[in-house]
Amino acid sequence: MSEIFKNIPKIQYEGASTKNPLAFRYYDADRVIMGKKMSEHLPFAMAWWHNLCAAGTDMFGRDTADKSFATEKGTMAHAKAKVDAGFEFMQKLGIQYFCFHDVDIVPEADDINETNRRLDEITDYILEKMKGTDIKCLWGTANMFSNPRFMNGAGSTNSVDVYCFAAAQIKKALELTVKLGGRGYVFWGGREGYETLLNTDVKFEQENIASLMRMAVEYGRSIGFTGDFYIEPKPKEPMKHQYDFDAATAIGFLRQYGLDKDFKMNIEANHATLAGHTFRHELRISAINGMLGSIDANQGDYLLGWDTDEFPYDVYESTMCMYEVLKAGGLTGGFNFDAKNRRPSNTYEDMFHAYILGMDTFALGLIKAAELIEDGELDAFVEKKYESFNGELGQKIRAGKTTLAELADRAAQMRTCPVPASGRQEYLEGVVNRIMFG
Ligand code: XUL
Ligand code: CO
């Protein structure tokens, strides 16, 4: 097998002042931050679909990039060339994980039995490539949104036949994830939602989605899958309303149907902003519920109302992300670059620039988040803010041992209520800037 990305060397760390476009400025895999190597804090993953399949097509124009890798698209030869390209790409960048949908790794056949045979063949090939490398699978998933059969949903479909195909795809994708040693299995419900309530039985659809997830857990555990299942919340696109709207909604759903022990969240930055939240908010809500599992690392565009899946460059955002991740004690999953080059960035070099940008953005975010934590001023402020609850009455309230009548008596004795101390938001924003740029 010959080299695909010719003229691209192994990407090395050269430090912040380098002008070499094919070097890391901040990602220094062995550098220790808060007791752990950067590479352990940041298990980066390559998204098969964006990096090896997507070639710049949008609603108004066809491919701009050549992802044929010198083969004919839609063939098993092309599927294998993508494996070769992917492994060369990951090795040159020092990326240790990949994520995939079933249909990213082989062309889908008309007959599902033939698709499954192709999936067996390609995963044998991937396993062979994994030997002698430290590359592993982060998570697998089934694409239950592209094929026309899923137009009315997968778990939420009105058709028992479609429901069986969804089940079959999940079963196979779970087997492949286990075969490739995947740490997690993702449900992103792209078609699990509705366009209009005029034709939709929401309760019926949500119950069926939960059943499909329950069967997935049962089957996964029966074949030795010990990792986490993830829901990847997204409020809209392609559907007008998606059931996994945001982390709070998805966590409530999981608890309602008894799935919360097996599932965590896979939080995607651009999905958070589409839901009207910050990325950081979604991470915090997941973390305080013990459900921060994995991250789809990308960013959106504040001027556009859809999922632009850009490579992350906003260091303020990545710092806040890493602050949440460090506080939560790390991820059980990793950082999957669910991101694509802009359409005019259509060369092999651009693919590397994109990943270097993303990895450096998160490395710098990690460095700055650790500085914020080590500085301690933010933590100290938050602790002090709630200090009135440290007294006897506050402790009683925290322990759930008070009554409304008791608290009302206390208010009556006080007669007037003092205004609490300032929240000092602008001051604290300045503290962050001091650490970021000081
Ligand atoms: C779509 C999206 C998906 C999931 C996996 O917005 O994020 O690529 O990550 O199906
Ligand atoms: Co995603």
- From ligand 2's centre to the CA of 210, what distance in Å? 20
Pocket test for ligand 1, best of 105, 229, 296 (most atoms within 8 A of CB): 296
Strand partners of residue 36: 33
- From ligand 2's centre to the CA of 223, what distance in Å? 26
pLDDT digits (tens, 9 = 90+) for 364-383: 999 999 999 999 999 999 99
Report CA-CA distances (Å) from 244 to 139, 161, 247.
19, 23, 7
Residues 6 or more apart in contact with residue 22 via CB below 8 angstroms: 8, 9, 11, 349, 352, 353, 356
Q: Parallel, antiparallel, or unpaired for β 36-37 and 32-33?
A: antiparallel
| Pocket around ligand 1 at a 6 A CB cut-off | 101, 141, 186, 188, 232, 234, 268, 296, 307, 338
Q: Is 107 left (phi over 0), alpha (psi -120 to 50) or beta?
A: beta
Q: Is 262 a catalytic residue?
A: no
Average pLDDT, the chain: 98
C-alpha–C-alpha distance, residues 118 and 135, integer Å: 22
Dmax over Cα atoms in the chain, in whole Å?
A: 83
Q: Which of 223, 188, 187, 230 is nearest to 334 (CA)?
A: 230
- From ligand 2's centre to the CA of 411, what distance in Å? 49
Q: Parallel, antiparallel, or unpaired for β 193-194 and 241-242?
A: antiparallel
The answer to whether the pTM exceeds 0.95 is: yes
Q: Which of 199, 282, 184 is nearest to 235 (CA)?
A: 282
Closest approach atom of ligand 1 to CA 271: 6
pLDDT digits (tens, 9 = 90+) for 313-343: 999 999 999 999 999 999 999 999 999 999 9
Contact predicate 25/12, CB 8 Å: no
The residue whose CA is least distant from atom 3 of ligand 1 is: 188
Ligand positioned closest to the Cα atom of 297: 2
Strand partners of residue 299: 310
C-alpha–C-alpha distance, residues 24 and 21, integer Å: 8
Q: Which of 367, 355, 438 is nearest to 93 (CA)?
A: 355
Closest approach atom of ligand 1 to CA 190: 1
Structure tokens at 228: 């986490």
- From ligand 1's centre to the CA of 188, what distance in Å? 6
- From ligand 2's centre to the CA of 125, what distance in Å? 25
**Residue 21, CB-side half-sphere exposure with 13 Å CA sphere:** 8
Per-residue pLDDT of the chain (438 residues; tens, 9 = 90+): 799 999 999 999 999 999 999 999 999 999 999 999 999 999 999 999 999 999 999 999 999 999 999 999 999 999 999 999 999 999 999 999 999 999 999 999 999 999 999 999 999 999 999 999 999 999 999 999 999 999 999 999 999 999 999 999 999 999 999 999 999 999 999 999 999 999 999 999 999 999 999 999 999 999 999 999 999 999 999 999 999 999 999 999 999 999 999 999 999 999 999 999 999 999 999 999 999 999 999 999 999 999 999 999 999 999 999 999 999 999 999 999 999 999 999 999 999 999 999 999 999 999 999 999 999 999 999 999 999 999 999 999 999 999 999 999 999 999 999 999 999 999 999 999 999 998
DSSP reduced 3-state for 238: coil
Contact predicate 312/44, CB 8 Å: no
C-alpha–C-alpha distance, residues 308 and 412, integer Å: 55
Pocket test for ligand 1, best of 101, 232, 294 (most atoms within 8 A of CB): 232
Contact predicate 160/212, CB 8 Å: no
Catalytic residue selected from 50, 101, 277, 281:
101
Identify whether 238 is preceded by a cis peptide bond (ω within 30 of 0).
Answer: yes
Q: Is 104 a catalytic residue?
A: yes
C-alpha–C-alpha distance, residues 64 and 174, integer Å: 33
The residue whose CA is least distant from atom 2 of ligand 1 is: 188
pLDDT digits (tens, 9 = 90+) for 342-357: 999 999 999 999 999 9
Closest approach atom of ligand 1 to CA 50: 8
